[in-house]
Structure 1
Amino acid sequence: METRRLIVFMVISVAILFGWQKFEESRRPPKPAVVANQTANTSASKPAEMSAADSAQLKSSGRLKVTTDVLQLEIDAQGGDIRQVALLKHGDVTDPKKPVTLLQDVKDRTYIAQTGLFADGMPNLPGPRTLFKLPGNEVKLPQGQDSVTVRLEAPELGGLKIAKLLTFKRGSYVIDVDYEITNGSTMPVTMSSYYRLLRDGQAPVGDPKMLYTFTGPAVYTEQKKFQKLEFSDIDKDKARDKYVASCDNGWIGIVQHYFTAVWLPASAKTPAESCDGKTELRYDIKKVGNLYSVGVIRDVAAIAPGQTFKTGVPLFVGPIETAMVAKLAPGLELTKDYGIFKVIASPLFWLLEKLHGLVGNWGWAIILLTVVVKAILYPLSAASYRSMAQMKAMAPRLERLKEQFGDDRQKFHQAMMELYKTEKINPLGGCLPMLLQMPIFMALYWVLVAAVELRHAPFMGWIIDLSATDPYFVWPLLLAGSMVVQTYMSPQPTDPMQAKMQRIMPIAFSVMFFFMPVGLVLYWLVNNLLTIAQQKFVEHQVEQAKKAAHA
Structure 2
Amino acid sequence: MDTKRLILFLIFSFSILMLWDGWQRESAPPTMGTQNVQTVNPTGKTAQPVAALPHSDAFTLPAGQKIHVKTDMVEAIIDTQGGDLRHLELLHHKATDNKDKNFVLFDDQSLSHLYIAQSGLIGNGLPNHKAAFVTEKSDYSLEQGQDKLEVRLTWKNEAGLQVAKIYTFHRGSYVTDLRYELHNASGQAVDASAYFQIVHDSLSSKGSAMMPTFSGAAYFTEGDKYKKLKFDEMKKSNLSKNATDGWIGMVQHYFASAWILKSGTSREFYTKDLGNNLYSAGEVTSLGSVAPGATSQIDARLFAGPQEQKHLKEVAPGLEYTVDYGWLTVIATPLFWVLTTIQSLVHNWGVAIILLTVLLKLIFFPLSAASYKSMAHMRKVAPRLQQIKERYGDDREKLHKAMMELYKTEKINPMGGCLPILVQIPVFIALYWVLLGSVEMRHAPFILWIKDLSATDPYYVLPILMGLTMIIQSSLNPPPPDPVQAKVMKIMPVAFSVFFFFFPAGLVLYWLVNNILSIAQQWAINRSIEGASKGAKA
TM norm. shorter chain > 0.5:
yes
Equivalent in 512, 525, 531 of residue 518 of structure 2: 531
Partner Cα separation in structure 2 for residue 97 and residue 20 of structure 1? 36
Q: Which residue of 2 aligns with 1:281?
A: 267
Q: Are 1:251 and 1:264, in contact at CA under 8 Å, matched by a contact in 2?
A: yes
Tell me the amino acid that sits aligned with residue 374 of structure 1: K
Shift in Å at residue 389 of structure 1?
Answer: 1.6
Q: Which residue of 2 aligns with 1:198?
A: 199
Equivalent in 107, 112, 118 of residue 122 of structure 2: 118
Q: Are 2:50 and 2:270, in contact at CA under 8 Å, matched by a contact in 1?
A: no
Partner Cα separation in structure 2 for residue 510 and residue 19 of structure 1? 23
Equivalent in 72, 93, 98 of residue 95 of structure 1: 98
Q: Are 1:3 and 1:487, in contact at CA under 8 Å, matched by a contact in 2?
A: no
Q: Which residue of 2 aligns with 1:106?
A: 109
1:234-270 deviation per Cα after TM superposition (whole angstroms, max 9, x unaligned)? 2111644xxxx11210000011111111001135x6x
TM-aligned CA distance change 1:433 to 1:138, over 3 Å: same
What are the within-5 Å matches in structure 2 for residues 249-328 of structure 1? 249-266=245-262, 280-290=266-276, 291-328=278-315
Partner Cα separation in structure 2 for residue 99 and residue 399 of structure 1? 62
Q: Are 2:126 and 2:161, in contact at CA under 8 Å, matched by a contact in 1?
A: no
1:311-369 deviation per Cα after TM superposition (whole angstroms, max 9, x unaligned)? 12100000111111111111111111212322222222122122211211111111122
3-state secondary structure, aligned to 1:313:
strand
Q: Which residue of 2 aligns with 1:68?
A: 71
Shift in Å at residue 302 of structure 1?
Answer: 4.4
What are the within-5 Å matches in structure 2 for residues 45-194 of structure 1? 47-55=49-57, 57-107=60-110, 108-119=112-123, 122=124, 124-156=125-157, 158-194=159-195
Q: Are 2:73 and 2:174, in contact at CA under 8 Å, matched by a contact in 1?
A: yes
Q: Are 2:48 and 2:193, in contact at CA under 8 Å, matched by a contact in 1?
A: no
Shift in Å at residue 141 of structure 1?
Answer: 1.1
Tell me the amino acid that sits aligned with residue 520 of structure 1: L
Partner Cα separation in structure 1 for residue 27 and residue 261 of structure 2? 33
Q: Which residue of 2 aligns with 1:509?
A: 496
Gaps of 5+ in 1: 29-44, 275-279
Q: Which residue of 2 aligns with 1:337?
A: 324
Equivalent in 370, 387, 395 of residue 383 of structure 1: 370
Shift in Å at residue 185 of structure 1?
Answer: 4.6
**Matching of residue 492 in structure 1 with residue 494 in structure 2:** no
TM-aligned CA distance change 1:27 to 1:220, over 3 Å: closer
Partner Cα separation in structure 2 for residue 546 and residue 192 of structure 1? 82
TM-aligned CA distance change 1:218 to 1:157, over 3 Å: farther
Tell me the amino acid that sits aligned with residue 82 of structure 1: L
3-state secondary structure, aligned to 2:98:
coil
1:98-153 deviation per Cα after TM superposition (whole angstroms, max 9, x unaligned)? 1111111123322211111122xx1x212122111123222111122111000011
Partner Cα separation in structure 1 for residue 325 and residue 26 of structure 2? 16
Q: Are 1:7 and 1:506, in contact at CA under 8 Å, matched by a contact in 2?
A: no
Q: Are 1:9 and 1:438, in contact at CA under 8 Å, matched by a contact in 2?
A: no
Partner Cα separation in structure 1 for residue 275 and residue 337 of structure 2? 42
Q: Which residue of 1 aligns with 2:208?
A: 208
TM-aligned CA distance change 1:475 to 1:307, over 3 Å: same
TM-aligned CA distance change 1:114 to 1:357, over 3 Å: same
TM-aligned CA distance change 1:46 to 1:295, over 3 Å: same
Partner Cα separation in structure 1 for residue 18 and residue 233 of structure 2? 24
| TM-score of the two chains, using structure 2 as the length reference | 0.89
1:275-334 deviation per Cα after TM superposition (whole angstroms, max 9, x unaligned)? xxxxx1111112133321211112115445544443121000001111111111111111
Q: Which residue of 1 aligns with 2:10?
A: 9
Q: Which residue of 2 aligns with 1:521?
A: 508
TM-aligned CA distance change 1:402 to 1:234, over 3 Å: closer
Shift in Å at residue 484 of structure 1?
Answer: 0.8
**Count of aligned pairs:** 517
TM-aligned CA distance change 1:437 to 1:357, over 3 Å: same
Percentage of matched positions with identical amino acids: 46
**Matching of residue 474 in structure 1 with residue 461 in structure 2:** yes
Q: Which residue of 1 aligns with 2:43?
A: none
3-state secondary structure, aligned to 1:326:
helix
3-state secondary structure, aligned to 1:264:
strand
Partner Cα separation in structure 2 for residue 23 and residue 211 of structure 1? 16
What are the within-5 Å matches in structure 2 for residues 415-434 of structure 1? 415-434=402-421
Q: Are 1:27 and 1:230, in contact at CA under 8 Å, matched by a contact in 2?
A: no
Gaps of 5+ in 2: 30-46
**Matching of residue 228 in structure 1 with residue 228 in structure 2:** yes
Shift in Å at residue 181 of structure 1?
Answer: 2.4
TM-aligned CA distance change 1:402 to 1:184, over 3 Å: closer
3-state secondary structure, aligned to 2:488:
helix
Q: Are 1:117 and 1:191, in contact at CA under 8 Å, matched by a contact in 2?
A: yes
Partner Cα separation in structure 1 for residue 488 and residue 16 of structure 2? 18
Q: Which residue of 2 aligns with 1:455?
A: 442
TM-aligned CA distance change 1:224 to 1:184, over 3 Å: same
Q: Which residue of 2 aligns with 1:38?
A: none
Partner Cα separation in structure 1 for residue 470 and residue 5 of structure 2? 12
Tell me the amino acid that sits aligned with residue 140 of structure 2: V
**Matching of residue 365 in structure 1 with residue 368 in structure 2:** no
Partner Cα separation in structure 2 for residue 48 and residue 26 of structure 1? 26
Tell me the amino acid that sits aligned with residue 226 of structure 1: Y
Q: Which residue of 1 aligns with 2:34?
A: none
Which stretch shifts more, 46-55 or 439-448? 46-55
Partner Cα separation in structure 2 for residue 27 and residue 202 of structure 1? 21
Shift in Å at residue 510 of structure 1?
Answer: 2.2
Q: Which residue of 2 aligns with 1:217?
A: 217
CA RMSD of the aligned region, Å? 2.8
Partner Cα separation in structure 2 for residue 397 and residue 136 of structure 1? 87
Partner Cα separation in structure 1 for residue 427 and residue 326 of structure 2? 13
1:188-241 deviation per Cα after TM superposition (whole angstroms, max 9, x unaligned)? 544111101112211327x2221221111111011111111121122111644x
3-state secondary structure, aligned to 2:467:
helix
Q: Are 2:3 and 2:480, in contact at CA under 8 Å, matched by a contact in 1?
A: no
